[in-house]
Amino acid sequence: MNTRDVNDTQSRQRRRRWWVAFGLGLLIELVLVVLAAVLPRESWLFAKVFNFIQYSHYPFFRFLSIFGPESLGGQILVTLLAWVVMGLIWACVLVGGRALLTFVVERLGLSNH
Say what percent of the chain tops pLDDT 70.
Answer: 92
pLDDT, tens only, 10-40? 888 888 999 999 999 999 999 999 999 999 9
- Write the Ramachandran bin of 111: left for phi over 0, alpha for psi from -120 to 50, otherwise beta: beta
Whether residue 113 lies inside any domain: the answer is no
Whether residue 57 lies inside any domain: the answer is yes
What stretches in the chain show pLDDT beneath 50? none
Q: What is the mean pLDDT of the chain?
A: 87
pLDDT at 112: 60
pTM score of the predicted model: 0.79
Whether residue 93 lies inside any domain: the answer is yes
Domain of residue 96, residue span: 3-108
Whether residue 41 lies inside any domain: the answer is yes
Whether residue 35 lies inside any domain: the answer is yes
pLDDT at 6: 60
